[in-house]
Amino acid sequence: MKIKKIIKDKVKLDYLFIEGFLDIDSKYFIKEIDKAIQEQDNNNFKTNVQGFMTSWDYFNNNKKFLKSIYPLFDYLDSLDNIKPYELRSSWGLKEDFSHFTQPHDHLPNYLSAIIYLNNHQQMLIFPELQKTFKPKKNSFILFSSFLNHRTDRNLLDKNKYAISININHCGGKNVYK
């Protein structure tokens, strides 16, 4: 082998980052998450979420959930340069004392979001953007899936609840289930 040149550098990428609030029944979804993390197909401590987690597609066919996120999809539809998309996965998480989320991205997905179901002090950290986000009840962040993010350990005796989603490209028209 003969190496002619090695380049190790960074490139700037366009990304999407939206913060807002949704009209969502937090109490209902917290109960659903508490129920789902007891089921056999849970992902508790099996993923980047080092805490309790439902199955990946737990909320995909939940009509109450879909009705809650459709306003976000309607907003995406109004933006220029948004490619056709579909909901790929939607799962709930509960981070108790000492739980955290390891650094990760959501590639190969197109867009990702997190919807917070309660107020909490455990910040969501986006190192590349040098940005942190404090969870507030019914708040959401939608972001380009290639953005790395994480949380530090939850040092409070208070659970943090959230629902995360992944959105993928699809051929043709948007698919809403």
pTM, rounded to two decimals: 0.91
What SS3 class is residue 5? coil
What does the pLDDT look like over 138-153, one tens digit per residue? 999 999 999 999 999 9
Question: What DSSP designation does 84 have?
Answer: P
Domain locations in the chain as residue ranges? 18-169
Torsion of CA 40, 45, 50, 54, to 10 degrees: -20
* The predicted structure's pLDDT at residue 177: 46
Q: Which CATH class is domain 18-169?
A: mainly beta
Does residue 176 register a pLDDT over 60?
no
